Amino acid sequence: MHMTNNPEQIANWYCDVIVVGKFLGNTDTFMLDSDIPMIYTRGLFEVTDVLKGNYDEEYIEAAYYGGIISIAEYIDSLSPVQLKNYGLDQISESNCDNLYIEERESENSAEPEPAVSYILLLAKSDDGYYTIQSGALGMLPMQDGKAYDYATNSYKTFSFME
Residues 3 and 52 in one domain: yes
Write phi, then psi, for 94 (nearest 5 degrees). Answer: -65, -25
**For residue 111, what pLDDT band results from cuts at 50, 70 and 90?**
confident
Q: What is the pTM (predicted TM-score) of this model? A: 0.88
Is the pLDDT score of 123 beyond 70? yes
**For residue 159, what pLDDT band results from cuts at 50, 70 and 90?**
very high
Write phi, then psi, for 130 (nearest 5 degrees). Answer: -95, 140
The pLDDT mean for the chain works out to 90
CA nearest neighbour of 57 among 47, 67, 68: 47
Residues 61 and 17 in one domain: yes
Render pLDDT for 28-82 as a digit per residue (tens, 0 to 9).
Answer: 999 887 778 889 999 999 999 999 999 999 999 999 988 999 988 888 888 888 8
Here the CATH number for the domain that contains residue 56 is 2.40.50.120
Residues 130 and 90 in one domain: no
**For residue 1, what pLDDT band results from cuts at 50, 70 and 90?**
very low
Residues 89 and 136 in one domain: no
Q: Is residue 113 part of a domain?
A: yes
